[in-house]
Every structure is written in C-alpha cells, then in structure tokens.
Amino acid sequence: MANRFNSSFISYANSIGLQQKLNGQRLEISIENIPNSFIYRLKGEFILIRGFVLSANKENIVPEKQELRLSYKLITGTNENKTGSIAITCNDQPVRNVWGPTEIFIGNYIGIYDEDMINLSKDAVDDILTDIAFQKGSEEVSPNEKAGENTPIERSMK
C-alpha cells in the first residue's frame, strides 16, 4: 500500500518538475500515517423451504476513517531551512458488492484504493509545494505564514 503511494508521489513530483523548483535544496519526507485499513462485512440470510436452502448475502467494505500525515524537511547542505507537516483526511465511502463473486468485489475495491493512493500522493505533493512556497523574505510565503500561523496544512480529500 505504501509502495503505491511512494511510487505515485515520486512520479507526480517528477512530472511537475519538483526538483527544479527546489533550487538545489533537498526535500526529506517522512510518512507518519497512511490510510491502509478497512472492514470487510458479510451478512447472510438463509431460508429453508421444503428442503431447499435459499441464501442472500450482503457484502460491503467500509474504509476506516484515517488521514494521510506527512512531515517534511527542506535542507541545503547540512542546514535545515524549513520543516512542516500536512494532513489530508481520506473520505472514502463504504462500497457494496455489485460485482458478484467476492474475489471480484475485493479486487475492484483494491483498484479503487490504488486510485485513492494516487490522488492522495498528488494532493500531498501539491500541499507540500504550497506550504514551502519556495523561500521567505521578498519571495512568496506559505498560506499558513501569511495568516501568522505555524500549524500544519489540513484538508479533506474528496
């Protein structure tokens, strides 16, 4: 799960030219939490009619409410220029089995989860870039600094 996030994060960062935007600085990222768990539920009903068993199963997957939490350091040489953290709440919704067999249902859910990891990684890169805002002084400052805050960026993923 984290591998999907890492590869998507690196791929997206490269596609938008993050390394050039850092102007020779190094960005260190620490993943503190990544959404990675869900509850699989199967509710079954069995009815016995004249020796025949009829069954109806209701399957669903309910993602646990979690958030992606990252911290980062912007480093030049051995100097730590800036630190920060971001938190993105993952608002995944429960998924009901409409695909048939359990194997297909779970496989489709994992596909949905992979897409969510790709979207979370893009949001994380964008939020880090926003927070860094590439230098202080006469150049841009982050939205938190403009507001006089020293708090992490927090938002929800849709």
Threshold 0.75, pTM exceeds: no
Report all structural domains of the chain as residue ranges with CATH numbers, in order of start.
2-157 (3.30.160)
Judged against a pLDDT cut of 60, whether residue 116 lies above it is answered with yes
State the pLDDT at residue 43.
85
139 burial (CB, 10 Å; 0-12 / 13-18 / 19+) is exposed
Q: Which two tokens stand for residue 158?
A: 């849709």
Residue bearing tokens 């009903």: 45
Q: What whole-number distance in Å separates Cα of residue 62 and Cα of residue 94? A: 4
Cβ contacts of residue 109 below 8 Å, gap of 6+? Answer: 38, 61, 95
Judged against a pLDDT cut of 50, whether residue 134 lies above it is answered with no
Q: What are phi and psi of 150, to 5 degrees?
A: -130, 50
Lowest mean pLDDT among 21-35, 88-102, 139-153: 139-153
- Contact between 121 and 8 (Cβ < 8 Å): yes
Strand-strand pairing, 79-90 and 38-49: unpaired
44: confidence class by pLDDT, cuts 50, 70, 90: confident
138: confidence class by pLDDT, cuts 50, 70, 90: very low
Q: What whole-number distance in Å separates Cα of residue 63 and Cα of residue 94? A: 6
Q: Which runs of consecutive H residues, i.e. helices, occur in the chain?
A: 2-15, 18-21, 102-132, 143-146
Q: What whole-number distance in Å separates Cα of residue 25 and Cα of residue 38? A: 38
| Exposure letters 47-60 (e unless 16+ CB within 10 A, then b) | eeeeeeeeeeeebb
Q: What whole-number distance in Å separates Cα of residue 117 and Cα of residue 109? A: 12
